Amino acid sequence: MTPTSPYYETLAGQIAARFGGELVRLPSVVGELSYSVQPGDLLQVATALRDEQPFRFEQLIDVCGLDLAAWGEGDWTAEGATSTGFSRARSPLAVDRARRGRFESVVHLLSVSHNHRLRLRVVCADEDPPVVPSLTGVWPAANWFEREAFDLYGILYDGHPDLRRILTDYGFVGHPFRKDFPISGHVEVRYDPEKGRVVYQPVTIEPRNNVPRVHRKDHRFDGGA
């Protein structure tokens, strides 16, 4: 874990003293404060983080989804691979899959009063469907962010006042940011001149290999150099 500033370490101590096991601190490669929280603890933790003087996170900056399917189960390996640059396939941070599961809802908070930031990663206990409590009752700004995460990841926000799609079409099937959703999608649209309107049809794009190929100079293949 990268050391954080003394300022954030003081905040981390206050969080540990106040919440104990309700918030589990996560490793960070950039010195930020990130915590994992279970859905059943989310609302009371969020309310305390908003209202109590040591924290005062008055503003919700963002809510987004995560699909951790197969994350951390493999790595690109190469002789002499480095921990940075093109030889690095993923962050070396460990994944506690028993605690964190496949889907998470990630909340970014800002304290205007104290000028500090915090990230909460809310574990979705179930995968079909993943459900977490809505934060709209604590921070109304969560409304459209939660709709976006629902639309793209299929995360259900229990208690949301109007949980419906916000980016895709009304008849869209599936959730396009899930790892098992095909890159080319299931359907495509075109204009039908006979019907005089846009119509849906099965996608005509041929499946292809989308594994990235990185071309870079490597002294091991310089012909004896």
Residue 157 parent element (H or E): strand 156-158
Q: The whole model's pTM is what? A: 0.77
Number of domains in the chain: 1
Domain containing residue 113: 6-166
pLDDT in tens, 190-222: 899 999 998 888 888 776 666 666 666 666 666
Distance (Å) of CA 200 to CA 50, 106, 168, 190, 208 = 46, 33, 14, 7, 22
Does some domain include residue 183? no
Non-local (6+) Cβ contacts of 95 within 8 A are 68, 71, 72
Q: Which amino acid, residue 72?
A: G
Q: Which candidate, 197, 137, 181, 190, places its Cα nearest to that of 161?
A: 137
Domain contains 63: yes
| Cα-trace Rg, the chain | 22
122-148 pLDDT tens trace? 988 778 899 999 999 999 999 999 999
Residue 77 lies in a domain: yes
User: Count of H helices and E strands in the chain?
Assistant: 4, 9
CATH of the domain at 42: 3.30.460.80
